[in-house]
Structure 1
């Protein structure tokens, strides 16, 4: 059995993330989807976990996992991509079953593969599909409605009420 990994903040989950997840699903038997969430973010990790569960409700190959962390322990802001990847890989090795391949749309995926002792696949399409920063989507969700799955649209509808 080939176990894959996708890591993200999914802040918010959008069709670019879904393209990466769908690509990964086509290349493995089981997919761990880790939602990295700190208490310092505008949308709680539990909400993002529910988005993934709802969006992939019919697919038993997808295993969404909430990884709550303390920014002081697993920082990503002041570190180089390589050092940040080493730190995260060490943490993930303790938290997840062995991973055969990590799928990413950014360069950290290659480092993570090396530090997790697994294959890495960089799939660049998600950045082409959604060429806008997630912060912009959070600021103006109605302008980017077409990029959001139903579960995320429902969240923003409820926020507006």
Structure 2
């Protein structure tokens, strides 16, 4: 999605754009930018009902990111919609007025109720692209088919909706090979899937730097000479999350991650013999949807200079499986040849994608 530059030709002192933004899409952004171009000041009021599955705070945050020069406020509105009932209108207006108490000079909308909304605010009503000819998309269409509407979504919304798949496992069990193969498989599907991305394991980059620094002080040092501290693991987990979020903003509806911040909790236990609650908190900050656990059985150990030849691979596989189950994370154990693992992984991912995004319906309109 491209960002347009507008020449401000102000007509109104204070304008208002009101909507659910469930979720925000390019049509909403066109409406806001059109209104901003006509007003000295613009307020965007995001109204969400408590039954909807996208939190109000997220929608407000997304709108503020896309429109940093606009005031964006939020309100919970659990009043059912009935444009013919004056009492229902009064109840809605009480919510709107509480959120935007100052005078409104113009209300901008793409909906048929925009004229009545403007009248009740004592403001002009400005209709913008009611037939969706500029951007043929709606919130209903996005909720029904996020993949088909992917190019109509801004980066923060894509990041929130992207299905994140984590490949994790003990050392030398093919996690990197599989994660890359999965990304390549979905890119070959073309269309929006051609942007499918792979996120490398930041812990490996961190380890390479640690070993290089140690060798600068002690030439000939080996991986076995490297020591970790508990404070380093939260840094690794946070950076892993950052890399994922950046990739999700620019990629397709699915993202493949070579390990994740959750896996860092087990690696901390592996190297230091105990848990670190801070890492577990970091692991819960980003959404993941499926974990693919690579079995150590049938995969020969290869020492690439950053692996422990005496690594307890069977223990690691068991710990990953136990922690995934304990924390309620959905996972699939992958065994056999690379080809078999890839086929099983694709089947699991397709199953996840096939279940859709499960937006809860908004409050129904009374008829």
The interval holding the TM-score normalised by the smaller chain is: 0.7 to 0.9
1:137 alignment counterpart:
142
Q: Distance in 2 between matches of 1:112 and 1:65?
A: 18
Alpha-carbon spacing, 1:87–1:3, altered in 2? closer, same or farther (3 Å)? same
2:96 alignment counterpart:
92
1:158 is displaced (CA, Å) by 5.8
1:22 alignment counterpart:
33
* Misfit runs of 4+, over 6 Å: none
Q: Distance in 2 between matches of 1:33 and 1:91?
A: 14
Structural mapping, 1:4-153, within 5 Å: 4-57=15-68, 59=69, 62-69=70-77, 71=78, 74-76=79-81, 79-81=82-84, 83=86, 84-96=88-100, 97-124=102-129, 127-153=132-158
- Contact 1:51/1:152 (<8 A) preserved: yes
**CA-to-aligned-CA distance 1:82-111 (integer Å, 9 cap, x gap):** 634444234323431111100001121110
Higher relative contact order (CA 8 A, sep 6+): 1
Alpha-carbon spacing, 1:156–1:18, altered in 2? closer, same or farther (3 Å)? same
RMSD of aligned Cα (Å): 2.1
Alpha-carbon spacing, 1:5–1:93, altered in 2? closer, same or farther (3 Å)? same
TM-score where L is the length of structure 1: 0.84
Alpha-carbon spacing, 1:90–1:154, altered in 2? closer, same or farther (3 Å)? same
TM-score where L is the length of structure 2: 0.39
**CA-to-aligned-CA distance 1:48-78 (integer Å, 9 cap, x gap):** 1111011123x2xx11111113x2xx221xx
- In structure 1, the gaps of 5 or more residues are none
Alpha-carbon spacing, 1:86–1:122, altered in 2? closer, same or farther (3 Å)? farther
Q: How many pairs are equivalent?
A: 153
